Amino acid sequence: VGSWRSYRRANKLKRAALHVIAHQLDCVETRRLRDMFIALDTDGDGHLTCEQLRDPLVMAGLIESDEDLQEVMDAVDTDGSGALDYTEFIAAGIHGSKTIDEGACRTAFSLFDRDGDGEISTDELAQVLDRGTLKYASAIAMKTVDCNNDVRISFDEFLQMMDLAPAGSMQASTSTSGASLWESVAHLASTRGLPAETEIASSVQLRRL
């Protein structure tokens, strides 16, 4: 949940990059998040509502009130639909995780670097971020990420934005809040007569995979 709140403060480019990376990573952490999502998605519609999140978050001691719950929901519900889809859940869950590697970041970077020149220009950023109510999102992201003020985002600046650890020092992320949330989800799943986590993952088809 701490990562979800910090996710809300991330600039639009970083959130968009996390959405791309969420589709790429296949590791212990993302599989655990996937199983957690499936266990919480009790009606199997591929979305998590406030009602579905309330019990496990309270049991894990991560929220105390409906106001806390709404803060968490607002932090992760980037499209404002009122519910969390699979990609939003995974993207927020991996925010700040050391399981994000340079290869995943390179793939995300290449989607923004449309002309392949090794840098993200203002125009390229605007094509992705300046939509609807996000008219000035690209300007804000550029100002935040462009460390040398050349009005372009290099791959090194992109990596810095993603909080990527130096090569050789990356370790699997272990989150106390994530663990306690998972324990609460697992307990709820067992009380509801749901199958074990490995069976849950294969028995429900997610719409957003």
Q: CA–CA separation, 192 vs 38, rounded Å?
A: 13
Handedness of CA 54, 59, 60, 61 (dihedral sign): positive
List the structure tokens of 50. Answer: 């406030």
The confidence band for 128, taking pLDDT boundaries of 50, 70 and 90, is confident
Integer CA distances (angstroms), 32 to 67, 158, 200, 201, in order:
27, 27, 11, 10
Average pLDDT, integer, range 53-74:
84
CA distance 131 to 126: 8
pLDDT in tens, 21-49: 887 777 677 788 888 899 899 999 999 99
| Whether pLDDT at 94 is above 90 | no
**Which segments of the chain does DSSP mark as H helices, in order?**
2-9, 12-24, 28-40, 50-59, 66-76, 86-94, 102-112, 122-129, 137-145, 155-161, 176-191, 197-203
Quick count: other Cβ atoms within 10 Å of Cβ 41?
22
Share of the chain above pLDDT 70, in %: 71
- The pLDDT-based confidence of 2 (bands split at 50, 70, 90) is low
Domains and CATH numbers, the chain: 2-99+174-203 (1.10.238.10), 102-161 (1.10.238.10)
pLDDT above 90: percentage of residues in the chain: 25
Q: What is the pLDDT of residue 174?
A: 38
Least confident of 48-52, 72-76, 80-84, 178-182: 178-182
First to last CA, the chain: 22
Q: Which of 27-41, 96-110, 128-142, 164-178 has the lowest mean pLDDT?
A: 164-178
> Which of the residue ranges 127-136, 142-151, 175-184, 196-205 would you say has the lowest mean pLDDT?
196-205
pLDDT score of 132 more than 80: no
